[in-house]
Amino acid sequence: MSEYRPIPLQFERQEQELMRLRADELLQQLGSRRSVRSFSSDPVAEELIDRAIEIASTAPSGAHRQPWHFVVVDDPQLKKQIRDAAEKEEQRSYESRMPEEWLDALRPLGTDAVKPFLIDAPYLVILFAETHQVAADGTRSRNYYVSESVGIAAGMFIAALHLVGLATLTHTPSPMGFLRAILQRPANERPYLIFPIGYPAADCQVPDLQRKALDQVRSRNLEGRSEES
């Protein structure tokens, strides 16, 4: 495999004050993001979805393999097939596969096996993780840190959609094998997440949840160290 040619990094230091302002502004903007489960069917410009995919695809990845693939679905028939298959799995999960502890944890969110957003949202983006690569001549090569890489790309996708002004949800029907079958994806692609994307319904409500404060998610040096390690 050939090596990448080193080139000078394009990086400009910013004024401290501007950096602080930007950080505060970003926290405020991204802090207002909520998972949306109730969508308007108002149309969305597909180029916005494409830009968000390009932004997600700037994510760092193991050995720069970029082991992700985004399928944009707006065909009503495909959306219906996906909804039907997802609800079938979800019904089994909610009825018998999820242990009581899991159901208890979900209860405050009020979710159930009915998933109208899979039809109402104008777009579904299905993110697949590429477990390995297959070259044109059929040779297979490994990918590295696949779930980390795809998880980072998913996070950047969510942030991009929100900053662009669109709503989404990380939907994870389980198991998700039906997505590969319905969308006829190759065997090296594993379904990772479904993102319904659109504008929130006019009457959309979200749970009044609070996020952990900085002190709860960050410690400095050995602060709060554990005896167990």
* CA R_g for the chain: 20
Binder among 29, 147, 174, 205 for ligand IYR (CB under 6 A): 174
How far apart are the C-alpha atoms of 83 and 119, rounded to whole Å?
7
C-beta closer to ligand IYR: residue 53 or 118: 118
Residue 141 to residues 58, 63, 132, 134, Cα–Cα distance (Å) = 22, 12, 6, 7
Q: Which of 70, 81, 90, 157 binds ligand IYR (CB under 6 A)?
A: 90
Q: What is the 3-state secondary structure (H, E, C) of 120-184?
A: HCCEEEEEEEECEEECCCCCEEECCCHHHHHHHHHHHHHHHHHHHCCEECCECCCCCHHHHHHCC
Q: How far is the CB of 194 from ligand IYR (least distance, A)?
A: 9
Which of 14, 41, 141, 172 lies at the binding interface for ligand IYR (CB under 6 A)? 172
From candidates 106, 114, 181, 206, binder to ligand IYR by CB under 6 A = 106
Residues within window 14-43 making contact with ligand IYR, judged by CB under 6 A: none
Residues 141/63, Cβ–Cβ less than 8 Å: no
If you ran DSSP here, which 8-state letter would residue 116 be given?
Answer: T
Contact between 114 and 28 (Cβ < 8 Å): no
Residue 1: both structure tokens together: 């495999």
- The amino acid at residue 137 is D
Task: Identify which range of 106-114, 160-168, 185-193, 203-211 contacts ligand IYR by CB under 6 A.
Answer: 106-114
Determine the size of the site formed for ligand IYR (CB under 6 A): 8
Our CB check for ligand IYR shows the closer of 103 and 134 to be 103
Shortest gap between Cβ of 113 and ligand IYR (angstroms)? 7
Each residue 54-83 as x (binds ligand IYR by CB under 6 A) or -, in order, gives ------------------------------
With contact defined as beta carbons under 8 Å apart, do 74 and 122 qualify? yes
Using CB under 6 A, which residues numbered 107 to 126 contact ligand IYR?
A: 109, 111
**Least spacing, CB of residue 226 vs ligand IYR, in Å:** 25
**What is the Cα–Cα distance from 206 to 145, expressed in whole angstroms?**
34
Q: Looking up tokens 């959306």, which residue turns up?
A: 79
Piece in contact with ligand IYR (CB under 6 A), picked from 63-71, 129-137, 149-157, 168-176? 168-176
Among 67, 173, 191, 200, interactor with ligand IYR by CB under 6 A = 173
Q: Which residues bind ligand IYR (CB under 6 A)?
A: 90, 106, 109, 111, 171-174
